[in-house]
Amino acid sequence: MNVIKSTFNLLFVIRRHRLLKNGEAPIYLRVTVNGEVADITTKRSIQAKMWDQRRESSSGKTVKDRELNHYLETLKMRMYQIHRTFEIDGRQITAKALRDSFYGRDENDKTIVDVYREHNKKCRALIGIDFTKSTVEKFDTSLSHLQEYMQHQYGKDDMLLSEINSQFVSDFDFYLKTVRKCQNNSSIKHLKNLKKIIRIALANDWMKKDPFFGIQFKHDETHVEFLTQEELERIMNKEFTLPRLALVRDVFVFCAFTGLAFIDVKNLTSEHLMKDNNGALWIRKPRQKTGNMSNIPVLSVTKGLIEKYANHPECVKKNVLLPVMSNQKLNAYLKEIADLCGIKKKLSTHVARHTAATVVFLANNVSMENVAKILGHSNTKMTQHYAKVLDQSIMRDMADVEKCFGGLSVEKGKE
């Protein structure tokens, strides 16, 4: 019987793209077993220009450099001994198991990164089912920020779940706002992603105490940017000599009269069009972001744009209603359109969605409940956010007050 021997390799590396506050690059011991890689922090760092990767050591000649090289060699020998112990005991040898043994962890101990990666892996497998690609990418970004924080604060890329406490959470929030320069609401999004991982750990009894206990998130009020009716009409009536700008304008206007987000209008097909019993045309499409159904009556403006691009080569080829380019290009061209139309606001398809909710729907007495159905909101609580910023709705609500008191005036006092 042939015994398949596992491959085992050790390599010291530095991370040039993650310099410490002192400007030095952290040194890691990279353990590779059968292609699986696990990095171990050495808790040492060096100026990148002084690192000799071929020799896996400092190229300096000082006492400090010699001590560093001796220390690294000691770490390597220790890892060889751990590997040999695994062989003698007949234990399964993996890079992660060797790393955990090096750190003195029990093989059943869970780390925050292990749980986070497993969560992201499962979410990635559910793209197109329960999650969008962009949502999973945000989880990956949050994990990356968390690892950078642990390296910055504790000098390591991973920590045991038992080491995560309320101070860890508070310091992570501080790191996001100061080092990463995240705004409060962005910081809260990363913290909420971490809280989701913590809930998984608590549910599986991998943690005994909730580090988020007593911590409350307070979002800053966000400014909803939208166009006025005059600005929207200015864009609609503008003649563009460049076909690409005319196309982008049409996509923006389509969003402004449907409330569809970028990804939803990009994936809109004839299958999402249907007529009701009265012959009226509707767009019925689940939102890519939430899965909530959007029920949108097709107005004459919207219908005209659908007919305009019915035979467009890109629409025919991809079986879509509009030839929507990438979001990056779309936003770049919308900036040109804003300049040409004398609009100072930063245009995007999100601004078009906000414009639909406020100026096109709510300002024309469409009920809150119906706007929620059009936008695909779960309830009217999200829709109310748009109503708060609409001056017309305030004036409309004050009309009865004016009728009641409009005929009264304050008498001028006599001197």
Tens-digit pLDDT profile for residues 173-220: 999 999 999 999 999 999 999 999 999 999 999 998 999 998 888 887
Q: How far apart are CA 151 and CA 413, in angstroms?
A: 73
Torsion of Cα atoms, 10 then 14 then 18 then 22, to 10°:
130
E strand map for 4-78: 8-14, 25-33, 36-46, 51-52, 57-58
Which segment, 103-112, 114-123, 357-366, is predicted with the most confidence on average?
Answer: 114-123
Q: How far apart are CA 347 and CA 249, in angstroms?
A: 10
With 70 as the cut, is the pLDDT of residue 41 above it? yes
pLDDT of 400 reads 65
Task: Give the model confidence (pLDDT) of 321-373 as tens digits.
Answer: 999 999 889 999 999 999 999 999 999 988 999 899 888 888 888 888 888 88
**pLDDT at position 396:** 60
Give tens-digit pLDDT for 144-172. 999 999 988 888 888 889 899 999 999 99
Nearest-CA neighbor of 208 among 260, 164, 269, 154?
164
Show the CA angle centred on residue 122, arms to residues 117 and 125, nearest 5°: 125
Three-state DSSP class for residue 276? coil
327 close to 349: Cβ distance less than 8 angstroms: yes
Percentage with pLDDT > 70 across the chain: 88
CA nearest 135: which of 290, 329, 326?
290
Mean pLDDT in residue range 99-117: 83
Say what percent of the chain tops pLDDT 90: 57
Predicted local distance difference test score (pLDDT) of residue 387? 60
pLDDT, position 32: 95
